[in-house]
Structure 1
Amino acid sequence: MLDFFGDIGGAIMAPLYYVISAVLLGFHKLFGDIFGPASGIAWVASIVGLTLVIRAALIPLFVKQIKSSRNMQLIQPKVRELQKKYGHDREKLAQETMKLYRESGSNPFASCLPILLQMPIFLALFRLIDQAAKHPEDVRGLMTVKLNEQFGDAVFLGAKISDTFLDTNDLSVRVLAAALVVAMTVTTFLTQRQLMSKNMPADALSGPYAQQQKLLLYVLPLVFAVGGIAFPVGVLFYWTTSNIWTMGQQFYVIRNNPAPGTPAAKAKADRDRAKAIRKGKLPEAEVAQAEIAAAEPLRPARQQPQRQPRSQRSKNKKKKR
């Protein structure tokens, strides 16, 4: 039975081995001519190039994810209304909520799609590196025995890229692997926090969707931190590069196309207004008003007199008399 499932898994992964090895070897040909085909920097640069190609191919999915996440944010007030209306009937609440999701084009699990689609690619790269180091004669995809040996023995910053933090006592490997795990964990956390702090309206910061986002904020970095120590250094380079791409891509989208009613939307409106003023596209009255508002110092908020109890007010009246 195990052999049967193993054969199925091998049949599914075989096309990925060819695709990934083709892209990887294309970059290796380029960087190998510059740094040497057996050098660690050539293989690491090839892994980074592979990551960029994969993430560029996933851009349409990322755009769909952003749109779905935005819709999820905007319908949160309606979701809470449904919860108040059908809170006593869980089945009816689930039906109406799913109906609302369909009508608005929302998907509560859209934020997980890029990670889920990358997992087979991640596993294929993991197997390529692992087999290159342990069984170079077992070729996969377009790799050869010679390329497997170069890949498995490649050294970058004193560390073999096929080693893991757990499987070696080499200090160079452990230091590099630990640094990449920390970078991978931090970039995952910052990406999710960027989404919550900049591109979520105030009324979307509570409710089931907000709880899901908060869960991802803390669970995903923890998963990467725990699992990362078992990944080869080459795989850590792949995932860290992918996280940096995601963070930069999300920053660009949030900055230029923020969700309405969010801090990012307000910041964009301020930038657009300032740009229009510089180009002279605003009426003179609006420009003058904006300059006065910018030059006028902030006034301290007027403090309201404290409300006194009736007994105290009676005493004050008697004193005045």
Structure 2
Amino acid sequence: MDTIASLFSFITTPVSWVIVQFHKLYGALFGPDTGWAWGLSIVSLVVLIRVCLIPLFVKQIKSTRNMQALQPKMKAIQERYKNDRQRQSEEMMKLYKETGTNPLSSCLPILAQSPFFFALYHVLSSIASGKTIGVINQSLLDSARQAHIFGAPLAAKFMDSPEKVAALDASLNSVRIVTAVMIVMMSASQFYTQRQLMMKNVDLTVKTPYMQQQKMLMYIFPLIFAVMGINFPVGVLVYWLTTNVWTMGQQMFVINQNPTPGSKAQDHYLQRLLKSVSTHGEVRGRRRRNVVQAVVAKGPDRNENERRFITGLAKAGFSAQADGSVAKADPATAEAEDAAAGRRQQPRRQSKAQRQTGGTTAARTSLEKKDGDAGDTAAEERAGAGSGGDSAPRSARQAKSGQRKGPQRPKHPSSKK
């Protein structure tokens, strides 16, 4: 066993033991030397690991959402202390402590499964080299070397030489086709997972550098997987493809059932909830009642999606209650109560043509006012002339040039007249 593999011996032995146990199960169904038995053993290993990592995934979701919510405050701190890096770091740490946010929580699932990934990589590399590792003895080693997935051995790589592939009883073309297809699927699943996170489960009303970083990662990560994939054995590609598909499905479930406030996914969720309430006349399910309760508790701080949901309930003849249930109500009364709660709506943005039309109307009104004032002045002058000068025209009543308008201050007796 090489030096690197010896460093991971504390994890390679448990990983190899788990694979062997699953192999016994699937070997009884499909045959011990088949690719299905060994391939499904790797897939089952992934599922077992990801199930154990679900608590960390929940922490990752909370940390990611807290980081999104803190982005405006973090940006304000960076701008305020842009010339003082130490003070900037202290304020950031203070903000994290006050809100209970840990930036590293978003990386916990990846960090936690990394040892299993490296352990599986060394197990498969040892199988390719014909070396026993962990609890895999010589008989299991020979069985694993005979296992093929769509004509590609578990231990073969895209960059292997024809001689090495021939030693595993396979053709180079079969290995490269299978590995290329799996690399493309692995990169595509990674891209789709990140894309649905950015397009559906992000509060689009807040524009922060965090969103730009996530957008860059959406394109960088698939490229990294594609470059690294050509050096992975087929068994490792099975592992990584399975974990990407699991992540994609897990992310879809979270977006569908627990979306980020202010996102498109939240709007779709609340509209489905509104349709369910309109159909059944009640909020079905404890989780849904908790959602309605949270929306009611926000009051005037609701976002646009939540205000639209409350308005939709009012139009359907329902009023959301503080305990998360709904009650029958007159639509007009419900809308009046919602307005009294202090709904704050942003003014509609006018188009360029509307702004220009508004400016022209204002200018026209100003000109008409000036013309009216001029007509009034002329009328006063004519009235003054007709009354024999008792009423002076407005121009005569105006202050003389150089004099202050309004009542004049009396002169001092010693001053010259």
| Same-fold call, TM cutoff 0.5 | yes
Q: Which residue of structure 1 lines up, in the alignment, with residue 384 of structure 2?
A: none
SS of residue paired to 2:8: helix
1:228 CA displacement:
0.2
Distance 1:154 1:305 in 2: 72
C-alpha contact (below 8 Å) 2:9/2:134 kept by paired residues: yes
Q: Which residue of structure 1 lines up, in the alignment, with residue 181 of structure 2?
A: 179
SS of residue paired to 2:216: helix
1:147 CA displacement:
0.6
Distance 1:121 1:178 in 2: 23
Q: Supply the AA of the counterpart residue of 2:203.
A: P
1:97 correspondence with 2:96: no
CA pair 288-158 structure 1, distance change in 2 beyond 3 A = same
Paired residue for 1:59, among 39, 54, 62? 54
- 1:165-244 matches, cutoff 5 A: 165-169=158-162, 170-207=172-209, 209-244=210-245
C-alpha contact (below 8 Å) 2:5/2:122 kept by paired residues: no
1:168 CA displacement:
4.1
Paired residue for 1:304, among 326, 342, 354? 354
SS of residue paired to 1:130: helix
- 1:286-305 matches, cutoff 5 A: 286-287=315-316, 304=354
Q: Which residue of structure 2 lines up, in the alignment, with residue 276 of structure 1?
A: 277
1:193 CA displacement:
1.7
Aligned residues: 298
Distance 2:313 2:261 in 1: 28
CA pair 236-248 structure 1, distance change in 2 beyond 3 A = same
1:309 CA displacement:
7.2
1:305 CA displacement:
7.0
1:113 CA displacement:
2.5
1:152 CA displacement:
2.1
Distance 2:242 2:44 in 1: 9
1:84 CA displacement:
2.7
Q: Supply the AA of the counterpart residue of 1:34.
A: L
C-alpha contact (below 8 Å) 1:133/1:153 kept by paired residues: no
CA pair 55-205 structure 1, distance change in 2 beyond 3 A = farther
Q: Supply the AA of the counterpart residue of 1:210.
A: M
Distance 2:355 2:89 in 1: 49
Q: Which residue of structure 1 lines up, in the alignment, with residue 81 of structure 2?
A: 86
1:210 CA displacement:
2.5
- 1:151-166 matches, cutoff 5 A: 151-166=144-159
Q: Supply the AA of the counterpart residue of 1:187.
A: S
Paired residue for 2:22, among 27, 46, 54? 27
Q: Which residue of structure 2 lines up, in the alignment, with residue 258 of structure 1?
A: 259
Q: Which residue of structure 2 lines up, in the alignment, with residue 147 of structure 1?
A: 140
Give CA deviations for 1:200-239 in whole Å, capped at 9, x if unaligned.
21254422x2343233222221111000011011110100
Q: Which residue of structure 1 lines up, in the alignment, with residue 110 of structure 2?
A: 115
C-alpha contact (below 8 Å) 1:164/1:231 kept by paired residues: yes
Question: Bigger CA drift: 165-174 or 120-129?
Answer: 165-174
Q: Which residue of structure 2 lines up, in the alignment, with residue 297 of structure 1?
A: none
SS of residue paired to 1:164: coil
1:81 CA displacement:
1.9
| Unpaired segments ≥5 residues, structure 1 | 293-300
C-alpha contact (below 8 Å) 2:42/2:239 kept by paired residues: yes
Give CA deviations for 1:58-92 in whole Å, capped at 9, x if unaligned.
11111111110010011112112212322232221
CA pair 99-86 structure 1, distance change in 2 beyond 3 A = same
| Unpaired segments ≥5 residues, structure 2 | 163-171, 284-311, 319-330, 332-349, 369-417
Question: Bigger CA drift: 209-218 or 90-99?
Answer: 209-218
CA pair 284-42 structure 1, distance change in 2 beyond 3 A = closer
- TM-score, with normalisation over the residues of structure 1? 0.84
C-alpha contact (below 8 Å) 2:157/2:179 kept by paired residues: yes
1:102 CA displacement:
2.5
Q: Which has the higher helix share?
A: 1
1:172 CA displacement:
1.1
Of structures 1 and 2, the one scoring higher in RCO (CA 8 A, sep 6+) is 1
CA pair 32-91 structure 1, distance change in 2 beyond 3 A = same
- TM-score, with normalisation over the residues of structure 2? 0.65
Q: Supply the AA of the counterpart residue of 1:157.
A: F
Distance 2:205 2:102 in 1: 18
Between the aligned residues of both structures, percent identity stands at: 43
1:132 correspondence with 2:155: no
